[in-house]
Structure 1
Amino acid sequence: MSLYMRFLLNAFLSKVAYKFDAYLGVISQCVFLFIHISIWKALYISAEIVDVSSIDLKTMITYSVISAGISLFINNSVIGIMDQKIRTGEIAIDLLRPMNLKTTLFYRKMGDTCFVMIFQFLPVVMIFSFILRINYPSIEFLLYFFITLINGMIIYFLITYIIGLIGFWYLSVWHLSRLLQDLVRLLSGSFIPLWFFPDILSTISLYLPFRFIYFVPISIFLGKVDVLEIYIMIALQIMWILILTIIEKVLWFKGIEKLVIQGG
């Protein structure tokens, strides 16, 4: 077993040791989702918008359920970890280790993701699928959904890693985590689908990577895009992964250079 795979396994096992936290997470997510769905029901009934741009209430409920699942799937603590490493100087020790820090953090995230997928993501989706009778897409579209979901998780990981690297110049970046979460939720279509966005916000979202985290995978799950569009979306996700990778590498080398000059 490779060293990085051990990080993945250790991250998974450490989560298993605290399964009660996962169960609390499922309960809290279910409560939040129930409130979210209730709000959409009230909006559809009061405004009599049973069909807006072919988006009916059942579609919106399904959208909310999958969005809640994705939220569990992509969440990570990279910003907090990077903040602590840079503030305490632990980053200097990481430089001496024969391992890439980003790769180490990614494999730890994958270990967390495996745990979340088994103990949180699937339970939440299955519970609400049973209660609300959610329709699933075909095997082909389900495969496309998981491909874009994984790509979206990588995009979010890279964004959080980049925010963490800002700590080389701006100490205590941990509070930027909440700002990032709110920004992603707004422009990714997490709470409100991009179908309902005003023109200016919709245009802004086209030039940012956030929609590929939530909106694109959910749209595929709902069958709102054809196969050709799916291939285009996957290509754009890969493009953003490459762009973000270049950005993080530049920031990493500039940050290490600054650390060395300052005698860190």
Structure 2
Amino acid sequence: MTNKKSFTLNKYFSLTKGSIMESLSFRFSMLITVIGNLIYLIVIYYLWKAIYASSSSEVVNGMTFHDTMIYLVLALALFNFMECFIVWSIGRNFQTGQIALELIKPMDYQVFCFFANSGQYLISFFTTFLPTLIIVYLITKGGFALSINLIYFILSVILAIVINFCVDFFVGVICFYTESVWGVNIMKEVVVALLSGASIPLAFFPDRLRTIVNFLPFQAIYNSPLKILIDKSLETKDYITIIGFQIFWVAIMILISRIFWNVSKRIITVNGG
């Protein structure tokens, strides 16, 4: 039994190794991403600078300009780190008929998709998020705490990756019905970026909307780990509450995506078959 489990894990870990090699082979695209991010950061810097300049107070919704920029820079780094293009991968496999070959492999398809992209998470962490975190910390001279919250932050990020993957996988399977990827994925990107706090801190949402968003899974993707990392007022019980909320949504999203996949794979047609 132990050997069988070890063999199964080796199959999936080999996908991780392959994903790492694939990610390293596209170094130029990483450079383009860095340039695009710099342009984005310049735009949001002047945008939020104008917003705070028009305010009569240096603190808006409990956040200073300094706090907001730290949040948005780290949110962008976290977004790039967790972006894995699962929707495009599933949609492309469906349109080309590759999905039929994937389904006959002795692997669970959803788990296969996760490990096939897991190497990208590792590469993005060391090339995008970690350098950004260190640079922001040094530039702001300790603008956020790095103590026990770092352990909770790492756990929160792992849970956020699973939730984000399940959302992407669910949307990818929707392509079986729409037979189109672009529109569905764009809608998903907009919804997740907005409701997760990746583009606008949730503190700036109207009270009623923020209350609703706090009960949705999206804020558990970016806002939760960023809150653990940045908010110096949180205590251990607050960290545990945030992690517990994420664990709840991990279980729910895995269940929903599994059910939707098991139902949807029955309607797959390849070349009219």
Q: TM-score, normalised by structure 2?
A: 0.89
Following TM superposition, by how much is the alpha carbon of 1:117 offset from its aligned partner in structure 2, in angstroms? Answer: 1.0
CA RMSD of the aligned region, Å?
A: 2.0
Percent identity of equivalent pairs: 27
Counterpart AA for 1:241: V
Deviations 1:39-91 (A, max 9, x none): 22221122133123432221111111111111111111111111122223222
Following TM superposition, by how much is the alpha carbon of 1:121 offset from its aligned partner in structure 2, in angstroms? Answer: 1.8
Question: Could you tell me which residue of structure 1 aligns to residue 157 of structure 2?
Answer: 149
| C-alpha distance in 2 between matches for 1:6 and 1:33 | 36
Q: Which moved more, 1:189-198 or 1:50-59?
A: 50-59
Structure 2 residue 143 is matched with structure 1 residue 135: yes
Cα contact 2:74–2:132 (8 A) shared by 1: no
Question: Could you tell me which residue of structure 2 aligns to residue 250 of structure 1?
Answer: 259
Structure 2 residue 241 is matched with structure 1 residue 227: no
Cα contact 2:163–2:253 (8 A) shared by 1: yes
Which consecutive unaligned segments of at least 5 residues does structure 2 have? 1-8
SS of the equivalent of 2:179 reads coil
| C-alpha distance in 2 between matches for 1:55 and 1:135 | 13
Following TM superposition, by how much is the alpha carbon of 1:124 offset from its aligned partner in structure 2, in angstroms? Answer: 3.1
| C-alpha distance in 1 between matches for 2:40 and 2:142 | 18
- When residues 238 and 230 of structure 1 are mapped into structure 2, their CA distance, relative to the original with a 3 A threshold, is same
Q: TM-score, normalised by structure 1?
A: 0.91
| C-alpha distance in 1 between matches for 2:189 and 2:241 | 26
| C-alpha distance in 1 between matches for 2:182 and 2:102 | 19
Structure 2 residue 40 is matched with structure 1 residue 32: yes
Cα contact 1:62–1:134 (8 A) shared by 2: no
| C-alpha distance in 1 between matches for 2:199 and 2:80 | 14
Question: Could you tell me which residue of structure 1 aligns to residue 113 of structure 2?
Answer: 105
| C-alpha distance in 2 between matches for 1:26 and 1:121 | 11
Question: Could you tell me which residue of structure 2 aligns to residue 202 of structure 1?
Answer: 210
SS of the equivalent of 1:137 reads coil
Equivalent residue runs for 1:212-223 within 5 Å: 212-223=220-231
Question: Could you tell me which residue of structure 1 aligns to residue 178 of structure 2?
Answer: 170
Following TM superposition, by how much is the alpha carbon of 1:127 offset from its aligned partner in structure 2, in angstroms? Answer: 3.7
SS of the equivalent of 2:234 reads coil
Following TM superposition, by how much is the alpha carbon of 1:134 offset from its aligned partner in structure 2, in angstroms? Answer: 4.9
Cα contact 1:10–1:111 (8 A) shared by 2: yes
Question: Could you tell me which residue of structure 2 aligns to residue 4 of structure 1?
Answer: 12
Question: Could you tell me which residue of structure 1 aligns to residue 57 of structure 2?
Answer: 49
Counterpart AA for 1:119: T
SS of the equivalent of 1:92 reads helix
- When residues 182 and 75 of structure 1 are mapped into structure 2, their CA distance, relative to the original with a 3 A threshold, is same
Question: Could you tell me which residue of structure 2 aligns to residue 180 of structure 1?
Answer: 188
Counterpart AA for 1:116: S
Cα contact 2:164–2:221 (8 A) shared by 1: yes
Question: Could you tell me which residue of structure 2 aligns to residue 116 of structure 1?
Answer: 124
Cα contact 1:189–1:215 (8 A) shared by 2: yes
| C-alpha distance in 1 between matches for 2:108 and 2:251 | 18
Aligned with residue 249 of structure 2, among 234, 237, 240:
240
| C-alpha distance in 2 between matches for 1:174 and 1:28 | 20
Counterpart AA for 1:205: V
| C-alpha distance in 2 between matches for 1:102 and 1:168 | 15
Cα contact 1:7–1:107 (8 A) shared by 2: yes
